[in-house]
A and B are shown apart, each in its own frame.
Chain A
Amino acid sequence: MSSQARSVRLAYTATSILVIGFIVLPLVFIVWMSFFSNKILSFPPEGYTLDWYRRAWEMSDFRNGFFLSLRTSLIATVVALSLGLPASFALVRGRFRGRETINTILMSPMIVPGIVGGSALFVFFLEVEFLTGWRIAGSSIGLIIAHSLIALPWMIRLVTTSLISVPPSVEEAARSLGAGPLTVFFRVTLPVIRAGVIAGSLFAFVNSFIDLEKSIFLVGPDSTTLQIALINYLEWNFDSTIGAVATVQIGLITLLLLITDRYAKLSRAF
């Protein structure tokens, strides 16, 4: 490798280490902090302890919150897949007028701030209840609807990116050989855009899981998401319990990510 190439590579490596280090910094601290024995979260650590993990385990708020968040985000991702995959197809392969408009509409949930979308949805649910008697506000369905709205644009965004780089000629060849549209989709297109679908699902899931603001008005009796449980906790205590909760939650989901990577190389997904 020429010396210019080497120094270029060095520059990139150094910059990347710095930037990625910056991104990872809060994570490192949270894990480290979760072992501090300080009564309120502060630096430097006075000592180390596992007490916070025990305390987090004892508070059912966090356990229930984690499982509710997990369930809601998984369902939201499935909804995003069911609605988003066909929509992405229409957007990329279709040749009809109004395509740009439809794309804007489907991406619009991203522009709306979480607080606004969540409160508007809540009031809307109440109107619906007023008119029909259906009780959606504060229920799991309401929360799932909101989270699906978070997940959908991400799914579409990432699947369309992947789909664009796949020439339609392969699909056309399959059609000309007599395959029906569903066969074409499942046997020809899907394997090729598999990485994009996985990326879309990942981002859909992550963005739904970490949501705080949209969910705030939509949680109800016995259903709090993990993020809301954390912020409720922070209102009364600022200690390492949140570090313990976050560490466990991140650990579990990272495991999920690593398993996903095993089956679908994430490097191809992005």
Chain B
Amino acid sequence: MSTTETFSVSRPPGGAPKGTPRRLGTPMLATPAIIFVAIGLLAPLALMLRNSLNHYDPTELMVSAITPENYLKFFGDSFYQGVLWRTVWISGLSTAICLLAGVPVAYFLARHVGDLAKRMLLILILVPLLIGNAVRTSAWMLILNDKGVLAAFLGLFGHNGPLGLMYSSAGVVIGLISVLLPFMIITLNSVFESIDRNLEDAGESLGASHLTIMRRIVLPLALPGILSGSVLCFILSMNAYATPVLIGGPTFHMMAPTVYQQIAKVMNWPFGAALAFILMAVTLILTVGVSVLVQRRYRKWSE
């Protein structure tokens, strides 16, 4: 999702020649899409932003006003701040684990697998996404439960105590990475594919160990893609709803479920809207911040 890396990677040297007909790349081509997003997303969000400034009343529900009280409520209440913090660190952790697990698999698919096997493996990685969160978390419930599959499996080795995975951060992280890994692997795979194999072969012929090749050649070149995949996973995780609700349980509060609760259960639309914007703002700041930081370091390396 990071913007600048999309365009700074593989541009042909020297840029396009002066004679390029403008019509091929004219901004007009993007206009229908922009209008669509403006109407479908930006206008509704603007309306929601306006609502976040309204006043909530148990009897009237939403009363028109211009008040910062909903935002102040968030900043004054450590409970909701705790919810936000928990969302952030769980997203960070899930993204990190996806990265660690995704890099080897993506590299494997890019370098060590023949074409037919790769197509089948890609399908195998994508298909579980189709299950949908509702049913997938039900499956995880069965697996992670204190009396579930994993417990039975571990019982074969003599471990008989409760697992404590359901309704815990560990369980939620497991559920999240189950969804995020395919996205990470696919993103990383396309990046690895685009890295010239010759560079790695050159390193090998010079006697570098594989780890050195990865560390000094492949990963630095793949950095934009790694960033892109991580940003994607982080955002998906920050916005996660079904997994925290169904695996985390009623005592495990994360931002998106809390927004839903405010909007649909408590009917406190102003506060729900405020929470939504705080969530989006934090997600944006963190992802843009990290992207900028990484790109600044990347530019230093390539200079």
Contact = CB atoms under 8 A, between A and B. Distances in A.
B268 interface: no
B272 to A, nearest CB: 8
B280 to A, nearest CB: 6
Contacts of A254: 123, 127, 130
A67 B45 CA distance: 30
B18 to A, nearest CB: 11
A37 to B, nearest CB: 15
B28 to A, nearest CB: 7
A132 to B, nearest CB: 13
B235 A110 contact: yes
B43 A30 contact: no
Given A15-B104, A169-B12, A234-B138, A250 B127 contact: yes
A83 B36 contact: yes
Interface in B166-183: 178, 181-182
A26 B131 contact: yes
A143 interface: no
Q: Pick the most buried of B27, B132, B242: most chain A CB atoms within 10 A of its CB.
A: B132
B25 A4 contact: no
Contacts of A33: 139, 142
A16 B104 contact: yes
B101 interface: yes
A106 B34 contact: yes
A241 to B, nearest CB: 10
A30 B16 contact: no
B260 interface: yes
A111 B7 CA distance: 20
B48 interface: yes
A99 interface: yes
Contacts of A44: 152
A124 B51 CA distance: 11
B78 interface: no
Nearest to A240: B138
A146 B11 CA distance: 33
A75 to B, nearest CB: 14
A177 interface: no
Contacts of A168: 12, 16, 20, 24
Interface string A1-25: 0001100110111011001101111
Contact of B30 (A100, A106, A114, A270): A106
Given A43-B142, A123-B47, A168-B20, A270 B122 contact: yes
B91 to A, nearest CB: 12
Contacts of B15: 95
A29 interface: yes
Interface residues of A, number: 109
Interface in A86-105: 86-87, 89-96, 98-100, 102-105
B4 interface: yes
Contact of A146 (B40, B135, B242): B40
Given A107-B1, A206-B130, A230-B132, A15 B108 contact: yes
A249 interface: yes
B1 A164 contact: no
A221 interface: no
A98 B259 contact: no
Contacts of B115: 265, 267
Chain B CB within 10 Å, residue with most, of A11, A116, A242, A249: A116
A64 interface: no
A166 to B, nearest CB: 9
Interface string B133-144: 111101111110
A200 to B, nearest CB: 12
A99 B8 CA distance: 12
B280 A90 contact: no
B280 A231 contact: no
Interface string A58-74: 00000000000000000
13 contacts: A26-B143, A29-B149, A41-B141, A107-B3, A114-B239, A115-B256, A120-B44, A120-B45, A123-B47, A168-B20, A226-B132, A246-B132, A270-B122
**Which 5 A-B residue pairings sit nearest by Cβ, starting from the closest?**
A93-B25, A94-B25, A120-B44, A113-B239, A124-B44
Given A106-B30, A120-B41, A124-B43, 13 more contacts: A16-B105, A26-B139, A89-B29, A90-B25, A95-B15, A100-B4, A115-B256, A116-B259, A119-B263, A120-B47, A148-B36, A212-B242, A257-B126
Interface of A: 4-5, 8-9, 11-13, 15-16, 19-20, 22-27, 29-30, 33, 41-44, 82-84, 86-87, 89-96, 98-100, 102-117, 119-121, 123-124, 127, 145-146, 148-149, 152, 156-157, 160-161, 164-165, 167-169, 171-172, 175-176, 181, 184, 202, 206, 209-210, 212-213, 226-227, 230-231, 234, 238, 242-243, 245-246, 249-250, 253-254, 257-258, 261, 265-267, 270
